[in-house]
């Protein structure tokens, strides 16, 4: 019998719905691979629910032990999670929580304190990846390519005129630019700003999701992404994917990411082989730089001259039916069931060696 796995999903971030879809897909695949699985919806909302109320959709009451499509499903608040993991005798955790405490190192540090292996990178790596300000500082300090940028604090935005911020942009790299929250994923809160006219609105949107925003030079080019698996010298890249959104703006937004048919994933990308290899190598370097293990996904853009620019590393990539990591794995020759099985086995190996 394989290990008892808890799949953590849901959460309280703006990416909750994506997380539920990722968790459901992973849970079914792990059960198919022969694991004993319990899917746990972790959210503070369950602490506010009356005892007679049920979970949303097909999920059962948190105190019921019922099978949903052949799987045991439960729910709890973050405060109750330790008790749940011990109650179920969980041996390894597959983290499918996106954003917030599920991706910023909080849940990872909690599991590491409990000495329960998990599928994400270590807590410190997740913290660095989640905060784009810190990621960019590390990239720049090691000479890895990333777009020029400035950072703006919410308090400064309130006290500083938009003209002053606009002047900083013009003095640095000019318009158009991308405005994004420093610590969000799934393109939530991200805007493309063509001129200073749209800057104030874009910053107001970004600051709904945190105290810091990044304003980044807009790089025209081919958007690609590269999943990386493993850790250290054993880390390796899956095939590179070219992303072609079908939105009217051509922007790879939340809808394009998670609505079937709203984007094309082209493998291999329509790029020279040497450029593809350079991008894959950079993705591996970023994965190692942040101290990642498990599986990550690095988003990049490649300009007309073949220059690669790192946008961000995703420490807990989506695992839905439209997600990029499963598509890259399929191109590599791995079915989804094999992929999640490999990820769990790698987690057991990695954290097992850490405890020796």
Catalytic residues: 15, 186, 258, 297, 299, 312, 314, 318
Q: At CA 354, angle to CA 353 and CA 356, rounded to 5?
A: 65
How far is it, in rounded angstroms, from Cα 295 to Cα 80?
Answer: 27
């Amino acid at each position: 019998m394989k290990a008892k796995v808890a799949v953590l999903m849901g959460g309280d971030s703006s990416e909750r719905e994506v997380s539920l879809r990722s968790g459901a897909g992973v849970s079914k695949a792990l059960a198919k691979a022969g694991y004993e699985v319990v899917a746990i919806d972790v959210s503070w909302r369950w602490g506010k629910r009356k005892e007679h109320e049920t979970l949303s959709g097909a999920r059962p009451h948190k105190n019921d032990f019922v099978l949903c499509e052949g799987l045991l499903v439960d729910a709890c608040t973050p405060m109750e999670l330790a008790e749940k993991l011990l109650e179920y005798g969980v041996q390894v955790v597959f983290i499918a929580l996106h954003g917030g405490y599920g991706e910023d190192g909080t849940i990872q540090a909690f599991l590491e304190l409990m000495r329960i292996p998990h599928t994400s990178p270590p807590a410190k790596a997740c913290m660095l990846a989640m905060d784009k300000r810190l990621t960019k500082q590390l990239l720049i300090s090691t000479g890895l390519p990333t777009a020029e940028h400035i950072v703006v604090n919410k308090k400064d935005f309130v006290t500083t005129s938009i003209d002053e911020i606009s002047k900083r942009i013009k003095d640095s790299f000019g318009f158009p630019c991308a405005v994004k929250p420093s610590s969000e994923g799934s393109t939530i809160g991200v805007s493309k700003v063509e001129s200073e006219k749209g800057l104030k609105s874009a910053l107001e949107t970004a600051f709904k999701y945190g105290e810091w925003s990044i304003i980044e030079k807009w790089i025209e080019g081919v958007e690609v992404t590269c999943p990386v698996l493993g850790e250290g010298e054993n880390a390796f890249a899956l095939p590179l994917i070219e992303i072609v959104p079908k939105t009217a703006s051509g922007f790879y937004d939340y809808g394009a990411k998670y609505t079937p048919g709203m984007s094309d994933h082209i493998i291999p990308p329509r790029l020279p082989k040497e450029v593809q290899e350079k991008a894959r190598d950079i993705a591996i370097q970023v994965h190692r730089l942040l101290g990642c293990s498990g599986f990550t996904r690095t988003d990049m853009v490649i300009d007309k001259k073949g220059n690669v620019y790192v946008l961000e590393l995703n420490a807990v990539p989506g695992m839905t039916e439209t997600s990029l990591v499963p598509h890259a794995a399929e191109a590599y020759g791995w079915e989804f069931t094999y992929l999640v099985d490999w990820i769990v086995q790698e987690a057991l190996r990695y954290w097992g060696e850490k405890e020796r």
